[in-house]
Amino acid sequence: MGGLPYGVTEADFFGGCSIPRNKEIMRVFRDLEIVEQLGSGVPRILEAYGRDAFEIRDSYVRIVFRFMNTPETTQKTTQKTTQKTTQKILDILQETPKASRSTIAGMLGDITEDGVKYHLANLKQQGLIRRIGPDRGGHWEVVGGVHL
């Protein structure tokens, strides 16, 4: 129990040989449509992660799925998130021009006051908003009803 099934070598395993440990459980899983296809998991893991994902010992087989994130994916995700947050802030300022950083952060729920400050500074720098009056008692003006 624990390592490769009886009679299966590493070469067999990495070659796609599939022998369930408990055929009755596999039959039940297949009948309940819990499994997609018998023997398809290891080849798909090998395709995505390679052999280095597997550690095969006599008493166990360990599979480690490393988080794969490319700089390009991270950059695209960050850009989308920033754009959505920026648009939400613009929408809030159009509806509630006197909203404070604290109020905006509370309305967004997933950003700190410092994060709001960062976005407001960027919006001001881009000329999309301007502050009318003092920090206390003033209000925000969205320039030209901008939508990103």
Domains and CATH numbers, the chain: 10-63 (no CATH), 71-145 (1.10.10.10)
Give just the sign of the alpha carbon dihedral 77, 78, 82, 88: positive
Res 3: pLDDT? 85
Q: How far apart are CA 20 and CA 11, in angstroms?
A: 17
The number of angstroms, rounded, from the C-alpha of 128 to the middle of its chain's C-alpha atoms is 29
Q: What pLDDT, on a 0 to 100 scale, did the predictor assign at position 75?
A: 79
User: Cα–Cα distance between 105 and 120 in angstroms, integer?
Assistant: 11
Phi, psi of 131, rounded to the nearest 5 degrees: -95, 130
Per-residue DSSP letters for 52-97?
A: GGEEE-SS-EEE-------HHHHHHHHHHHHHHHHHHHHHHHHH-T
pLDDT tens-digit map of 22-53:
888 888 888 888 876 667 778 888 888 888 88
pLDDT at 1: 59
CB 106 within 8 A of CB 89: no
pTM over 0.85: no
pLDDT band at 76 (very low <50, low <70, confident <90, very high): confident
- Residues 100-121 have pLDDT tens digits of 999 999 999 888 999 999 999 9
Predicted pLDDT at 69: 65
Confidence of residue 146 (pLDDT cuts 50, 70, 90): low
Which residues have CB under 8 Å from 80's CB, separation 6+? none
- pLDDT at residue 148, as a whole number: 53
- Three-state DSSP state, 54: strand
The rounded Cα 133 to chain-centroid distance in angstroms is 40
Return the residue matching tokens 């159009």: 94
Average pLDDT, the chain: 85
